[in-house]
Amino acid sequence: MLRKLGRYLFEYKALLISVLIIMMIVAILSGFTVGMITPIVSSLFGSTYASSGPWIFRWLIKWVTQGDRLENLIKLAISLILIYGIKFPFSLLLYYLSDSLEQRTIADIRVDMFGKLTNLSYRFHSETKSGELLSKITNDTEKIRFALRRGVIHLGQNMFLLVVYLGLALWASWRLFFLALLLTPFTLLVIQFIGKKVRGKFTTLRKERAFLNTLASEMLHGIKIIKSFGMERYELDRFKEANVNYRKNYVKSHLLKAFLPASSELMGAVLAGGILVLGGILIFRGVITPDRFLVFLGSIILVQQPIRQLNLAYGDLQHGLASMESALEIIEATDIIRDEGKEILKSFGKAIRFEDVSFSYDESKPILKNLNLKIKKGETVALVGPSGGGKTTLVNLIPRFFDPVSGVIEIDGKDIRSFSLDSLRKKIGIVTQDVILFNDSVRNNILYGNPKATKSKLNESIKKSHLTTFVSELKKGLETEIGEKGERISGGEKQRIAIARAILKNPPILILDEATSSLDAVSEKLLQDAMAELLKGRTAIIIAHRLSTVRCADRIIVLSKGEVVEEGNHSELLKKNGLYAQHYTLQFKE
Ligand SMILES: Nc1ncnc2c1ncn2[C@@H]1O[C@H](COP(=O)(O)OP(=O)(O)O)[C@@H](O)[C@H]1O
Ligand SMILES: [Mg+2]
């Protein structure tokens, strides 16, 4: 998982290397400030209390012990300010570069997820909860970002500091250093154990968070249904219960995470006690000079910070890797609908044919059974039958939202799988009962059918779909923004926007799936007229309940339990006195 996160990071090698170099510079400068203890001691107490260090310190010691005491102190102050002055721009640069590294990497992951989700088949989406996917794009990427910041950037920064401080400590006294070292493996074991626990907990926590999102998005989508069934209380209780679970696990896992720094702090205290005693003995016996003891103490105190940060970083990295895993579930998802057709479907010439087509969503329940069907160019075919009979499923096979389990669907004698998905879908227009409007202007919503359409084509489509009055009554006309989900627009208007889209797209094949089912009489009249405009010169499959729509079809196909049970025109089917006739008389009576 870390390797996969690394793959995204390594896209920015130059940036990454610059960040590492600057981290190193900042760490060395930080080490310098600790090393300054030696010249400070020699200047305050005389050089007998201090040992010489690297050349730069020997030079410093000489420089600060030449003049009188006050002069020396001023020199020391200047040196200190100088070191911090040099560190300052590097620290800023480090912030800037590491932020851009982090944001670039995360944006790449986010865009990859979004891109993959738009490309994944309808089948994939119909089988996955949108709340879960949403949580992956928003929450998981945020956690990966956090893990990158803590687990990679802070990790790197603190590693360098660790090396510098440990180096200083080793130089100051190897005896004290090894005493400290003896106590560390124990610390590491504790940390690793807790880290593993934390990771597991956070995976569960992420799932519970996604579940909260799913519940909320289901509620928002189904608010009408919830209200009509008076289920507000039930939904609220369900949400409350999920929240209680989430809260409990959140507190538990975060407590576990807090264990990491708290336990390392305690270990630090044990360490300090040991050093104080041994260090004192070494000074009394003249083995080390006091300044070395002070440098050692300084670096050991300062090294606590990177160690603590490294512990935190470890926990956060584990935490982020769980999210990376979840993000990769999308990025690496394999799709069942393969876009492997090489041929371009240039035009629709003769017929659509279903040959022995069987389909099921899962093996246990067949939805379509050995279906044979031919729709000739120019025909308007109505598909009727009891709800759940497989009508929607059947038409979804034509644009390949799903592929048949067996049998083939052909257009002009060729298996539709031999065409590229894009060229196939360009030839098909779909209007369904639930029209999706995007949070954008009315113009752009209509232009969805063909973003490159000219102004006159746009106006023509508005006229043909009887939207002229609707648009003229809008405050800002075509530029009016559709409120979120277009709740302010009536069902009939939505349908006509969908028709305008389809007219702009101008596909030879049309699928209308219960497009008129939810409308009142006035809206329906307008819609019928718009629909008639849309149908002109096209091949259409209309799924409808209303016989007024069905009656004018060239051919009516009655589908029940996944099989064609009757076929013919309106009067032929009435004479047959079968399922269609029953249905017709029932509606006629109403
Ligand atoms: N995405 C899906 N996953 C599983 N089963 C489905 C799915 N969509 C529809 N079904 C089932 O397939 C059957 C046919 O549904 P559908 O084609 O929508 O019928 P119709 O449009 O004739 O009402 C129904 O039993 C329905 O429950
Ligand atoms: Mg249906």
Domains of the chain: 2-331 (1.20.1560.10), 351-589 (3.40.50.300)
Report residue 564 CA to chain centroid gap.
42
Atom 17 of ligand 1 has which residue's CA nearest to it?
390
Atom 16 of ligand 1 has which residue's CA nearest to it?
390
Task: Kindly list the distances between the CA atom of residue 322 and the CA atoms of 144, 196, 362, 534, in Å, as whole numbers in the listed order.
Answer: 9, 11, 30, 50
Residues 6+ apart with CB under 8 A from 580: 384, 556, 558, 566, 573, 574
- Distance of CA 391 from the midpoint of ligand 2 (Å): 6
Please say whether the beta carbons of 561 and 389 come within 8 A.
Answer: yes
Cα distance between residue 258 and residue 96, in whole Å: 29
Tell me which ligand sits closest to the C-alpha of residue 393: 1
Report the residue among 121, 124, 357, 361 best suited for mutation to probe ligand 1: largest number of ligand atoms under 8 A from its CB. Answer: 361
Atom 26 of ligand 1 has which residue's CA nearest to it?
388
Please say whether the beta carbons of 514 and 495 come within 8 A.
Answer: no
Q: pLDDT tens digits for the chain (590 residues)?
A: 778 888 898 899 999 999 999 999 999 998 888 888 888 887 777 777 777 667 777 787 777 777 787 888 888 888 889 889 999 999 999 999 999 999 999 999 999 999 999 888 888 888 888 888 998 888 899 988 988 888 888 888 999 999 999 998 898 889 888 887 786 676 667 767 777 777 778 888 888 999 999 899 888 888 877 888 788 899 999 999 999 999 999 998 888 888 777 776 777 677 778 888 888 899 899 888 888 888 888 888 888 788 878 878 888 888 888 888 888 888 888 877 888 888 999 999 999 999 999 999 888 889 999 999 999 999 999 999 888 999 999 999 999 999 999 999 999 999 999 999 999 999 999 988 888 888 888 999 999 888 899 999 999 999 988 899 888 888 888 888 887 545 678 888 888 898 899 999 999 999 998 877 666 666 677 777 888 888 888 999 999 877 777 887 899 999 999 999 999 988 888 888 888 888 777 776 55
Residue 514 alpha carbon, nearest atom of ligand 1: 21
Instruction: Return the bridge partners of 382, or none.
Output: 542, 556
Cα distance between residue 364 and residue 387, in whole Å: 20
Residues 6+ apart with CB under 8 A from 254: none
Q: CA 542, 548, 549: angle at the middle one, nearest 5?
A: 15
Q: Per residue in 539-568, is it b (16+ CB within 10 Å) or e — as a string? A: bbbbbbeebebbeebebbbbbbebebebbb
Ligand 1: residues within 6 Å at CB? 126, 361, 367, 387-393
- Distance of CA 395 from the midpoint of ligand 1 (Å): 11
Parallel, antiparallel or unpaired: strands 555-560 and 380-384: parallel
Residue 393 alpha carbon, nearest atom of ligand 1: 17
Residues 6+ apart with CB under 8 A from 102: 145, 148, 149, 153
Tokens, residue 173: 């006294």
Q: Which residue has the tokens 């995470």?
A: 257
Q: Per residue in 436-450, is it b (16+ CB within 10 Å) or e — as a string? A: ebeeebbeebbbbbb
3-state secondary structure of 47: helix
Cα distance between residue 283 and residue 275, in whole Å: 12
Exposure of 236 in the CB half-sphere (CA atoms within 13 A): 5
3-state secondary structure of 520: coil
Largest CA distance in the chain: 122
Residue 123 alpha carbon, nearest atom of ligand 1: 1
- Distance of CA 398 from the midpoint of ligand 2 (Å): 15
Please say whether the beta carbons of 30 and 91 come within 8 A.
Answer: no
Position 182, amino acid = L
Tell me which ligand sits closest to the C-alpha of residue 563: 1
Tokens, residue 56: 């730069």
- Distance of CA 390 from the midpoint of ligand 2 (Å): 7
3-state secondary structure of 298: helix
Tokens, residue 450: 């063909």
Measuring CA to CA, which residue among 165, 150, 148, 160 is closest to residue 15? 148
Residue 394 alpha carbon, nearest atom of ligand 1: 17
Can you state the angle between helices 55-64 and 69-119, rounded to 10 degrees? 140
**Taking the C-alpha atoms of 163, 168, 174 and 175 in order, what is their torsion angle to the nearest 10 degrees?**
-100
- Distance of CA 33 from the midpoint of ligand 1 (Å): 72
Tell me which ligand sits closest to the C-alpha of residue 122: 1
Cα distance between residue 105 and residue 8, in whole Å: 6
Residue 389 alpha carbon, nearest atom of ligand 1: 22
